A and B are shown apart, each in its own frame.
Chain A
Amino acid sequence: AQKVTQAQTEISVVEKEDVTLDCVYETRDTTYYLFWYKQPPSGELVFLIRRNSFDEQNEISGRYSWNFQKSTSSFNFTITASQVVDSAVYFCALSEARNTGFQKLVFGTGTRLLVSP
Chain B
Amino acid sequence: KAGVTQTPRYLIKTRGQQVTLSCSPISGHRSVSWYQQTPGQGLQFLFEYFSETQRNKGNFPGRFSGRQFSNSRSEMNVSTLELGDSALYLCASRPLAGGASSYEQYFGPGTRLTVT
A interface list, Cβ under 8 A from B: 33, 35, 37, 42-47, 50, 52, 91, 95, 97, 101-110
B100 and A33 contacting across the interface, CB-CB below 8 Å: yes
Select B42's contact among A46, A101, A109, beta carbons within 8 Å.
Answer: A109
| B45 touching A110, Cβ below 8 Å | no
Sample (27) of A-B pairs whose CB atoms are under 8 Å apart: A33-B100, A33-B103, A35-B104, A43-B88, A43-B110, A43-B112, A44-B110, A45-B92, A47-B104, A47-B106, A47-B107, A101-B96, A102-B56, A103-B31, A103-B48, A103-B105, A104-B33, A104-B48, A104-B58, A105-B43, A105-B45, A105-B92, A106-B45, A107-B42, A107-B44, A108-B42, A109-B42
> Are B43 and A91 interface neighbours, CB within 8 A?
yes
B interface residues with partner A (beta carbon < 8 Å): 31, 33, 35, 42-45, 48, 50, 55-56, 58, 88, 90, 92, 94, 96, 100-101, 103-110, 112
Q: Given known contacts A50-B100, A101-B96, A103-B103, is B90 in contact with A45 (CB within 8 Å)?
A: yes
Residues of A within 8 A of B58 (CB): 104
Q: Compute how far the CA of A103 lies from the CA of B43 in the bound complex, rounded to whole angstroms.
A: 15
Give chain A residues whose Cβ lies under 8 Å from the Cβ of B56: 102-104
State the CA gap A110–B48 with chains docked (Å).
Answer: 22
In order of increasing CB-CB distance, the 5 nearest A-B pairs are A45-B107, A107-B43, A102-B56, A44-B109, A104-B45
The binding surface of chain B is classed by DSSP as strand
Q: Which residues of A contact B33 (CB under 8 A)?
A: 103-105
A35 to chain B: which residues have CB within 8 Å? 104-105
Minimal Cβ-Cβ distance residue in A for B112: A43
CA distance A37 to B44 in the complex (A): 14
Measured CA separation A77–B63 after assembly (Å): 38
